[in-house]
Amino acid sequence: MVNQSNRVENMPVFGNAITFGNSPALLVVDLIEGFVAQDAPFYTPGIEIICQRVQLLITAFRQHHFPIAYTTVEYQENGIDGGIFVEKIPALRQLVKGSRWSQFTEQVAPDSQAIVVSKRYASSFFGTHLAASLTARRVDSLVIVGVSTSGCVRASAVDALQYGYRTIVVEDCVIDVDQEAHRVNLRDIQRKYGEVYHSEQVLEIIEQLQ
């Protein structure tokens, strides 16, 4: 007879590996002008390289007809729909709906088949239709890229797990202005909420699934 107590004791406390599902979607978090343009309020040096890598993933997902979802951040001009978030980070009020800063960067912009989500807070799921749209497409795994690692990427990864998605954050396709926060949050995501893969691993898996 198997000793169940010993079996539980021998399991890892954190970081047990989860497998990639059979029906993935790509989530492109906030690669909009407000984060990518060099004169943008939230510009992070090195974001150009991130966009190049994300473009490769977008191409692969499109070629194999897997869903792609995009998020933008956009507020009313008075910022009233931003609640305490815009009080904590006043620069967010520059991301006004219809402004340049809320527009998708051309290099990684959505096509007519993409799921496009407008959000006000960090998580791509909070107060949006993202979960319903992914469910309608029978998605079981969510590959997350974009900005920023410690903010919207992490918040989206946590919620993705809580909505039942196998969650993958692509380490060379996310970025943070704080390098220590970037490193620590990737480690924490790997330990508690999902898997952290390199873009080359994701591309290989997508080819195998197809």
The catalytic residue positions are 152
Q: Which residues have C-beta within 8 Å of that of residue 93, sequence separation ≥ 6?
A: 75, 79, 82, 86
Nearest to 151 by CA among 172, 169, 131: 169
Q: Where are the beta strands (DSSP E) in the chain?
A: 24-29, 68-73, 115-119, 141-147, 166-175, 195-197
Residue in the block written with tokens 């006043």: 90
25 contacts 166 by C-beta, under 8 angstroms: no
CA angle 70, 76, 79 (to 5 degrees): 105
Q: Which residues have C-beta within 8 Å of that of residue 133, sequence separation ≥ 6?
A: 69, 115, 117
Nearest to 41 by CA among 29, 30, 54, 50: 30
The letter for the amino acid at 97 is K
Q: Rounded to whole angstroms, how far apart are CA atoms 110 and 107? A: 9
